[in-house]
A and B are shown apart, each in its own frame.
Chain A
Amino acid sequence: MGRYTLRRLLQMIPVFIGSTFLIFFMVYALGDPVAALFGDKAPDPATAARIRKDLYLDEPLWRQYAHYMGQIFSGHFGTAFNGQPVTELMASAFPVTLRLTLVAVAFEMALGITLGVLSGLRRGRGLDTSVLLLTLVVVSVPTFVSGTVLQYLFGVRWGWASPSVSPEAPLTELLLPGVVLGLVSLAYTSRLTRTSIVENARADYVRTAVAKGLPRHRIVTRHLLRNSLIPVVTFIGTDIGALMGGAIVTERIFNIHGVGYQLYQGILRQNSPTVVGFVTILVIVFLLANLLVDLLYAVLDPRIRYA
């Protein structure tokens, strides 16, 4: 397993180079960012030319990329257009988003697996139908609506929570946004768990356990659930990255200055240092999350082994 992990970690190098170039190229393909810096006014050509020169935008793509990579290896990730270093943006955005993602993942895991198990065990009953309905609502009602409605109810009507998150973003303030963020994933995890439970409830080892007279909750948690978790864990592995980079709507609603927001701004302003920097970190997060998931497979199902 150690060698396997090492090999996976080494794979990060080509992925890092590939994804930085891809993203760099994509931002480049968006076109010239300078005009937008001047707001609704056409830029003064001389100033615009000077800004382009300073940002290496007048060079061919490969030289821009080489220059950018050179900067990165000397520890400099470039600056956003408002003059803030990208490393500073990352240092402020990633911890907040990480906390938000943790809340969302904890929520979707705890509630999703619980609901999935219960509805899987009581297939076709009331709870199962409720979970189905919840899935439908969550999928068809946009996050914007569920977010603003919950924000209004909790923040304004009942006054239980602050509608917006303060810049420090302590965990307690992130609970509501985390729940909103995790809602769609909740649909996935609960239905994945349910299906797995339904499939595995008829597996032989469960019958064995039943035949042996083991207590019911022990059968469910130790035997049935453990073997049913692989698809759920896989999904959550893919979801962590999506939640971290794609929480744009939730972050907007609750005024969280996290990764989604910075990335969104960076893309709209076509600032390649910001976009490439953030996406690169996100890709590394995917890689680590997927590695973790793969290692978890072996824990959840001992038949799976890595050379």
Chain B
Amino acid sequence: MPEPFDPRYDMTEAIAPAGGGGGGGGGGGPVDPAASGPQALKGGSILNGGPPRGPWRLPLPWRKEPGRRLGGPAAPTGRGLWTDAWHDLRRNPIFIVSALIILFLVVIAIWPQLIASGNPYHGDLAKAQDGPAPGHPFGYDLQGRDVYTRTVYGARASITVGICATLGAALLGSALGGLAGYFGGWWDALLSRIADVFFGIPILLGGLVFLSVVTSGSVWPVVGFIVLLGWPQISRIARGSVVTVKEHDYVQAARVLGASSGRTLLRHIAPNAVAPVIVVATIALGTYISLEATLSFLGVGLKPPTVSWGIDISSAAAQIRNAPHMLLWPAGALSITVLAFIMLGDAVRDALDPKLR
């Protein structure tokens, strides 16, 4: 997740180097009264701690703005936040573990024969749904195929669909949602209403219309379709997050100080608004892998004889009473993948959260 983000933001930072770490550093003071007014009126003074906020903040300006801290001799001010996050990540054991798992999964996806010597397509119906046997530790599926081999070979399609669809939906969704939330007004109306219409398209209908015309056996049409259906949700989440964050004092301050929209969005809003997007995206990764199976089950997903966890999980689901072992292994593999990405997401989020420093 973080790797693709980095270059992008670095690049934009380089384009807009002005402003130094000034950001919202001292922001609490000047903007606060405007914001705390309605708070105090609305829920009584204790509710959000409106009045005390100012004084509380002033002594601790660095809490909200990491750029200031890093703006010292070590790092150039412009890229502080992201370099710093990377610095944090490398030392986080959770990040290391999750990265290793993901690396392993990617290697398996590319070279499944490294750990599985069998043939994922060949089935011996006489052994259908049999349990574990020597050389076949996970047992056999309904067609008498080796569950272990299929679980290993299924990684390729599932990991590709999961990662690419999640990345696509997250990038597209947060870009559009971020713009809608930040600019508001017509932008918001247009982008949000488009998202609403996309929300309305039933998966089955969309799949039948868009995917049944596809004849190629590759995963990309499926990935594209999932992105198409998945972005509106992430865009809503990103929009909601941006709408909240942009009212924060340090953002207001940055604006008052004349920071450009792009700079404000990327440097001040994005790091603080990204957490919910990461949470939703990491869980969505798992649901997208399952969604691929739904599409395949409907006859419009991956073309047979492609092996994927999703396809095996959905065919095992029907047989849950007869052969639970058919479900256990592909579902387990899916769990581990989702776990790795949730851990990764958590680590990235922590690294980006200035408050945790």
**Do any beta carbons of A and B sit within 8 angstroms of each other in the complex?**
yes
A287 adjacent to chain B (CB < 8 Å)? yes
CA gap between A182 and B355 in the complex, in Å: 33
CA gap between A282 and B201 in the complex, in Å: 9
- Residues of chain B contacted by A136 (CB below 8 angstroms): 286, 335, 338-339, 342
- Residues of chain A contacted by B313 (CB below 8 angstroms): 140, 142
Instruction: Pick out which of these stretches binds chain B: A42-50, A77-85, A101-109, A239-247.
Output: A239-247
Within 8 A of B (CB), among A199-221: 199, 202-205, 207-209, 211-212, 214
Partner of A139, one of B236, B278, B335, B356: B335
Contact indicator B338/A140 (Cβ below 8 Å) = yes
- Residues of chain B contacted by A297 (CB below 8 angstroms): 240, 243-244
Partner of B275, one of A29, A132, A196, A227: A196
Q: Closest residue to B200 on the A side, CB-wise?
A: A283
Contact indicator A140/B286 (Cβ below 8 Å) = yes
Contact indicator A26/B287 (Cβ below 8 Å) = no
Which residues on B are within 8 Å of A, measured CB to CB?
35, 38-39, 42-43, 46-49, 52-53, 56-57, 60, 63, 189, 192-193, 196-197, 199-206, 208-209, 232-233, 236-237, 239-241, 243-244, 247-248, 275-276, 278-280, 283, 286-287, 290, 293, 313-314, 317-318, 320, 327, 331-332, 334-335, 338-339, 342, 346, 349, 353, 355-356
A75 adjacent to chain B (CB < 8 Å)? no
- Residues of chain B contacted by A26 (CB below 8 angstroms): 201, 205-206, 209
Instruction: Pick out which of these stretches binds chain B: A51-59, A65-73, A173-181, A299-307.
Output: A299-307
Interface string of A229-268 (1 = CB under 8 A from B): 0110111011001100110100000000000000110011
Instruction: Pick out which of these stretches binds chain B: A13-21, A32-40, A87-95, A164-172.
Output: A13-21
Contact indicator A184/B287 (Cβ below 8 Å) = yes
Which residues on A are within 8 Å of B, measured CB to CB?
7, 11, 14-15, 18-19, 22-23, 26-27, 29-30, 132, 135-137, 139-142, 144-145, 148-149, 184, 187-188, 191-192, 195-196, 199, 202-205, 207-209, 211-212, 214, 222-223, 227, 230-231, 233-235, 237-238, 241-242, 245-246, 248, 263-264, 267-268, 275, 279-280, 282-283, 286-287, 290, 293, 297, 301-305
- Residues of chain A contacted by B239 (CB below 8 angstroms): 234
- Residues of chain A contacted by B203 (CB below 8 angstroms): 246
Q: Closest residue to A142 on the B side, CB-wise?
A: B317
- Residues of chain A contacted by B208 (CB below 8 angstroms): 30, 267
Contact indicator B338/A29 (Cβ below 8 Å) = no
CA gap between A96 and B283 in the complex, in Å: 29
**A209 and B279 contact, Cβ closer than 8 Å, known pairs A139-B286, A142-B290:** no
- Residues of chain B contacted by A144 (CB below 8 angstroms): 314, 317-318
Contact indicator A196/B193 (Cβ below 8 Å) = no
Q: Closest residue to A208 on the B side, CB-wise?
A: B49
Contact indicator A188/B339 (Cβ below 8 Å) = no
Contact indicator A145/B317 (Cβ below 8 Å) = yes
**A238 and B200 contact, Cβ closer than 8 Å, known pairs A11-B193, A145-B317, A267-B208:** no
CA gap between A287 and B353 in the complex, in Å: 32
Contact indicator A208/B53 (Cβ below 8 Å) = yes
Contact indicator A286/B314 (Cβ below 8 Å) = no
Q: Which of A18, A238, A287, A297 has the most CB of B within 10 A?
A: A238
Contact indicator B279/A238 (Cβ below 8 Å) = no
CA gap between A275 and B290 in the complex, in Å: 25
Known: A208-B53, A287-B196; 6 extra A-B contacts, CB below 8 A, are A23-B201, A136-B335, A196-B275, A267-B208, A303-B38, A305-B38
Q: Closest residue to B38 on the A side, CB-wise?
A: A302
Q: Closest residue to B282 on the A side, CB-wise?
A: A191
Partner of A263, one of B57, B202, B356: B202
- Residues of chain A contacted by B243 (CB below 8 angstroms): 297, 304
**A145 and B196 contact, Cβ closer than 8 Å, known pairs A30-B208, A30-B209, A238-B237:** no
Contact indicator B199/A267 (Cβ below 8 Å) = no
- Residues of chain B contacted by A187 (CB below 8 angstroms): 283
- Residues of chain A contacted by B192 (CB below 8 angstroms): 290
CA gap between A15 and B192 in the complex, in Å: 10
- Residues of chain A contacted by B232 (CB below 8 angstroms): 238
Contact indicator B197/A22 (Cβ below 8 Å) = yes
Q: Closest residue to B343 on the A side, CB-wise?
A: A132
Contact indicator B209/A29 (Cβ below 8 Å) = yes
CA gap between A196 and B244 in the complex, in Å: 12
CA gap between A231 and B238 in the complex, in Å: 9
Question: 12 interchain pairs (CB within 8 A)?
Answer: A15-B197, A23-B201, A139-B335, A140-B335, A208-B56, A230-B241, A235-B276, A264-B204, A283-B197, A287-B193, A302-B43, A303-B248
Partner of A223, one of B35, B49, B283: B49
Partner of B356, one of A196, A202, A204: A202
Contact indicator A246/B202 (Cβ below 8 Å) = yes
Contact indicator A267/B200 (Cβ below 8 Å) = no
**A212 and B276 contact, Cβ closer than 8 Å, known pairs A26-B205, A202-B355:** no
CA gap between A7 and B193 in the complex, in Å: 12
- Residues of chain A contacted by B60 (CB below 8 angstroms): 204
- Residues of chain B contacted by A233 (CB below 8 angstroms): 240
**A192 and B355 contact, Cβ closer than 8 Å, known pairs A19-B197, A26-B205, A139-B334:** no
CA gap between A305 and B311 in the complex, in Å: 47
Tell me how far the C-beta of B322 lies from the nearest C-beta in chain A, rounded to whole angstroms: 12
Partner of B200, one of A149, A227, A286, A301: A286
